[in-house]
Amino acid sequence: MKRAAVLGAGSWGTAFAKVLADAGNDVTLWARRPDVATAIREQHVNPDYLPELRLPTAVTATVDPADALDGADLVVIAIPSQTLRDNLGDWATHFTPDATVVSLMKGIELGTLKRMSELIVEAAGVEPDRVAVVTGPNLAAEIAAEQPAATVVACTDTDRAARVQRAIATRYLRPYTNDDVIGCELGGAVKNVIALACGMAHGMGFGENTKATLMTRGLAETARLGVALGADPMTFAGLAGLGDLVATCSSPLSRNRTFGEHLGRGESLEQAQAATRYTAEGVKSCLAIRDLAIKYGVEMPITEQVERVCHEGLDPRVAVRALMSREPKSE
Ligand SMILES: NC(=O)c1ccc[n+]([C@@H]2O[C@H](COP(=O)([O-])OP(=O)(O)OC[C@H]3O[C@@H](n4cnc5c(N)ncnc54)[C@H](O)[C@@H]3O)[C@@H](O)[C@H]2O)c1
Ligand SMILES: O=P(O)(O)OC[C@H](O)CO
């Protein structure tokens, strides 16, 4: 049995704590708010996120990161990507030597354009081969309901990846390993941007042809960026690429797709933010991904248009016209 700390008691942190407990680990969730920590500890529910989920008794909670991290061999982080750097300073001093630090986050840091695993290495001083990424078609509510799914554990240290794989395997979650951390993280971050585009398409009343086109061409631009950054192109055909893209772009449970729907119906960024409560990572990450594309000289036309709709007030219908009138190309 392992001791796991899950830092972040939102939708995915809470569902993942259940996965870890069901896989046989002792789990301490770190929550920001005392009332959430108390409810998890005493009633085994998180009233703010996935309130219908009854957590196993092997899950406890605290607001003190030192308590959560005490003796943890697995440190799992599930907070919004843009808040990671600020939190790592507080947390890193409590990391157990040789603990594996697992990122569940799917975003790119604004300004530095770093992936979350890079940020953990840089800001927490953790060696790169101690950082793993868990990513795949894993909508939190479906995992919490024990609907069967697979996921990927990406780590440059293949033995460590296999240890994390064993530590999170349950009857409803089947983890695969992969040593392509760059590709797995990019797949997770960029699919959120493509899900925003699919949501916009849905909000504008377009059907499956439009969404399939966005998913397919979205995957093409994701793979182009990935290859420029050193990823294995095959990763994008796997769970962290195609798998997560399809789940997120197709599901009304996706916060990114839902956010896009609001924009597609003609709402402003502020109206969409007011109507949605949970983290939609693509809204901020589209800026960083657009900047990465510019930096590496990669064409990412869908990402470019999503950024314009989200941050420059472009009408999504004008974005569609821009995409459809690009110069003809071969596939
Ligand atoms: N929800 C999913 O289905 C899912 C699945 C896979 C990956 N992810 C990824 O997991 C990460 C977390 O997403 P989530 O779904 O749990 O989000 P969420 O919106 O459900 O919860 C966010 C959590 O982070 C906390 N938080 C917010 N601001 C913070 C700050 N400044 N410092 C510390 N904590 C803060 C909130 O209190 C909350 O507990 C994201 O990167 C997301 O892309 C989510
Ligand atoms: O709800 P979303 O849009 O953040 O997507 C959730 C997960 O990343 C799906 O794998």
Q: Is the CB of 107 under 6 A from ligand 1?
A: yes
Given the DSSP bridges, would you call strands 59-62 and 74-77 parallel, antiparallel or unpaired? unpaired
Do the domain assignments include residue 235?
Answer: yes
Q: How far is the CA of 329 from the centre of ligand 2 (A)?
A: 31
Do the domain assignments include residue 330?
Answer: no
Q: Are residues 198 and 169 in the same domain?
A: no
Q: Are residues 169 and 188 in the same domain?
A: no
Give the mean pLDDT of the chain: 97
Contact (CB, 8 A) for 181 and 160: no
Q: Which domain holds residue 220?
A: 184-324
Do the domain assignments include residue 306?
Answer: yes
pLDDT of residue 1 exceeding 90: no
Q: What CATH number should be reported for the domain holding residue 29?
A: 3.40.50.720
Nearest CA to ligand 1 atom 39: 10
Which residues sit in the known binding site for sn-glycerol 3-phosphate?
106, 136, 191, 244, 254-256
211 in active site: no
ipTM of the complex: 0.99
Q: Is the CB of 307 under 6 A from ligand 2?
A: no
Which residues sit in the known binding site?
8-13, 32-33, 49, 106, 136, 140, 191, 244, 254-256, 281
> Residue 74 has which token pair?
């697995």
Beta strands in 47-105 (DSSP E): 59-62, 74-77, 100-103
Q: Is the CB of 21 under 6 A from ligand 1?
A: no
> Cα separation of 90 and 315, whole Å?
41
Across 115-137, average pLDDT = 98
Across 290-306, average pLDDT = 98
Q: Are residues 127 and 192 in the same domain?
A: no
Do the domain assignments include residue 97?
Answer: yes
Contact (CB, 8 A) for 114 and 138: no
> Cα separation of 80 and 8, whole Å?
9
Q: What CATH number should be reported for the domain holding residue 258?
A: 1.10.1040.10
What confidence score (pLDDT) does residue 279 get? 87
List pLDDT tens digits, range 46-70.
Answer: 999 999 999 999 999 999 999 999 9
Q: How far is the CA of 138 from the centre of ligand 2 (A)?
A: 7
**Residue 206 is which amino acid?**
F
pLDDT of residue 227 exceeding 90: yes
Domains in the chain, number: 2
Residue among 286, 131, 293 nearest 197 (CA): 286
pLDDT of residue 215 exceeding 70: yes
Do the domain assignments include residue 331?
Answer: no
Q: How far is the CA of 139 from the centre of ligand 2 (A)?
A: 5
Q: Is the CB of 258 under 6 A from ligand 2?
A: no
Ligand (nearest to CA of 15): 1
Catalytic residue among 191, 211, 284, 295: 191
What confidence score (pLDDT) does residue 277 get? 84
List pLDDT tens digits, range 261-280.
Answer: 999 999 999 999 999 988 89
Q: Is the CB of 278 under 6 A from ligand 1?
A: yes
Q: Out of 160, 179, 198, pick the residue that ends a domain.
A: 179
Across 33-47, average pLDDT = 98
* CA distance to 104, 138, 146, 151, 248, per residue, from 16 (Å): 9, 10, 11, 12, 18
pLDDT of residue 33 exceeding 90: yes
Across 158-177, average pLDDT = 98
